[in-house]
Amino acid sequence: MTRMYHHLPVDAYTSQDWFDREQRLIFSRTWRYAGLAEDVPEPGHFISVQAGLNNIFIVMGRDHRLRAFHNICRHRGTQLIRAVGKTQKALTCPYHDWTYDLEGNLISVPDEAKEYPNGIDKSCLGLKPASVDIWRGMLFVHPDPNPPSLADWFGAVDPLLGPHKPEELVEYPDARRSYEIKANWKIVVENYIDVYHLSHLHSNTLHMYDHAWAEYGWKGLHYHFWEPPAPEYAKNLEKNLPTPRAIPEPHIGAWVPMLFPGIGLGAGEDSWNIFIITPLGPDLTRVENRTKLANASGWEFQKQEWSSWSFWKDFGGPKYPDGDATGEDDPMASGDFTAEDIYACEQQQKSLTSPYFEVGPAANGESPVVGHQKAILGFLETQETGS
């Protein structure tokens, strides 16, 4: 009998087959996060991104419009461009110097008359176009040149994502990091949207927000979540914010949605963060974090740090006090909610291969976990039946 993990078979979290199927049907057929808009700041700049099975690059033309193409030379398939860079007007494959203009047209084949004495129809050998768009200050790519628009894809959930204007905020480079979690990507998503665990795993790290008043739900495939500041924190909120406000008053609370597939956002009164989940293998997942803060002076940041110091100096701490921790590097003693989450995900993944694994009943606060499983099943079904 298939062992189940709520709505999905346990296999969905451990097998190469499921991983391949999700890569093909989910991550290669949807809009993928590709970076922040400022990663391609000027005409001629380009970046490439792996989006499921597709490697797609984005380049800005002199008209300031972004173009996206599959990063495959039409000659022998060589990846045309490397991770990031800058060009003038053309893209040349390093292998045989086939050259394309920024519209993807093949414009030059060296020694054309000698190498192709019967002629070569360059007009049929342009780069394969993909799509790119900017939404909430983020770059998104889609492998199809005519995909449903981002207005179509994110439109319904957009009003529930908070009043932030990421394009007006400034990246805080020290917070940028990328790390791997030894767990299936769905375990990482489910942990992100599990409301039940907030008060327990993070009993001593995220209690500035009031999980009892969280409002959450689904708009199609996308999950939305908002919760208010806890009374202690809210009492002197403007004083207690660690950095200057990133959204105007009177907006308060934390918006922590999970957009499909694996695009987490986390935004509060004073910051806007992304949490991009990329599957690397059945039991290995990469997470990329970036943070944006208010576009305020160093002096404003200094003043806010001083004013909030008295709230934060005694705030939080390890989940387990010294005596219960296994050592200094025990994540349960870190006082860092990310370390707590990584630990929980990896400990969970370890059990999935045990013949004795059996999942317990889902709690009310775990309804998003079950909801995500249904979203996966539903999306795979529509992709496979083509409906």
Partner 1 sequence: MNPNFFSLRIAEIQPEIKGKATSVIFDLPANLAETFRWQAGQHVTLRFHLNGTEQRRSYTISNPPGAPLRITVKRVVDGMVSNHIGDHLKPGDMIDVMPPFGQFSLSPDALNRRTHYFFGAGSGITPLFAMINAVLEEEPHSVAHLIYGNIDDGSIIFHNELGKLTAEHGSRFTVRHVLSAPSMWRSISPWRKGRVDAGLIKDAIAETPPVAQDVQYWVCGPGTMNADVKDALMALDAPASRIHMESFGGGEVAAPSVIGVAAKAKVELDGAVHDVSVAENETLLNAVLSAGLAPPFSCQSGVCGACKARLTNGQVHMRARMALEDSDIARGEILSCQSVAASDELSISFDK
Q: 3-class SS at 266?
A: strand
Taking the C-alpha atoms of residue 226 and residue 233, their distance in angstroms, rounded to an integer, is 16
Instruction: List the structure tokens of 324.
Output: 């219960």
Nearest distance from C-beta of residue 150 to partner 1, angstroms:
6
386: left (phi over 0), alpha (psi -120 to 50) or beta: left
Taking the C-alpha atoms of residue 314 and residue 1, their distance in angstroms, rounded to an integer, is 51
**Per CB under 8 A, 150 contacts partner 1:** yes
Out of 8, 73, 132, 376, the only residue in the binding site for partner 1 (CB under 8 A) is 132
Residue 334 contacts residue 318 (beta carbons within 8 Å): yes
Nearest distance from C-beta of residue 163 to partner 1, angstroms:
13
Taking the C-alpha atoms of residue 349 and residue 200, their distance in angstroms, rounded to an integer, is 19
**Per CB under 8 A, 66 contacts partner 1:** yes
Out of 17, 20, 38, 103, the only residue in the binding site for partner 1 (CB under 8 A) is 103
Nearest distance from C-beta of residue 275 to partner 1, angstroms:
23
User: Which of the stretches 103-111, 192-200, 266-274, 310-318 binds partner 1 when contact is defined by CB under 8 A?
Assistant: 103-111
Q: How many CB atoms lie within 10 A of CB 288?
A: 15
Q: Which residues pair with 198 in a beta bridge?
A: none
Out of 87, 108, 199, 383, the only residue in the binding site for partner 1 (CB under 8 A) is 108
**Per CB under 8 A, 64 contacts partner 1:** yes
**Per CB under 8 A, 246 contacts partner 1:** no
User: Which of the stretches 55-63, 191-199, 208-216, 286-294 binds partner 1 when contact is defined by CB under 8 A?
Assistant: 55-63
Nearer to partner 1, 121 or 329 (CB): 121
Instruction: List the structure tokens of 65.
Output: 């419009």
Q: What type of residue is 318? A: P
Q: What type of residue is 163? A: P
**Per CB under 8 A, 61 contacts partner 1:** yes
Out of 14, 15, 79, 149, the only residue in the binding site for partner 1 (CB under 8 A) is 149
Interface with partner 1 (CB under 8 A), residue total 28
Q: Check the CA dihedral 157-161-165-167 and report its sign.
A: negative
Taking the C-alpha atoms of residue 199 and residue 207, their distance in angstroms, rounded to an integer, is 7
Site string for partner 1, 156-195 (x = CB under 8 A): -----------x----------------------------
Nearer to partner 1, 42 or 174 (CB): 42
Q: What type of residue is 146? A: N
Q: 3-class SS at 156?
A: coil
**Per CB under 8 A, 89 contacts partner 1:** yes
Out of 47, 72, 102, 274, the only residue in the binding site for partner 1 (CB under 8 A) is 102
**Per CB under 8 A, 76 contacts partner 1:** no
Q: Which of 356, 359, 354, 380 is nearest to 369 (CA)?
A: 359
User: Which of the stretches 97-105, 182-190, 286-294, 343-351 binds partner 1 when contact is defined by CB under 8 A?
Assistant: 97-105
Q: Which residues pair with 287 in a beta bridge?
A: 179, 277
Binding site for partner 1 (CB under 8 A): 37, 61-66, 89-90, 99, 101-103, 107-108, 110, 112, 131-134, 148-152, 155, 167
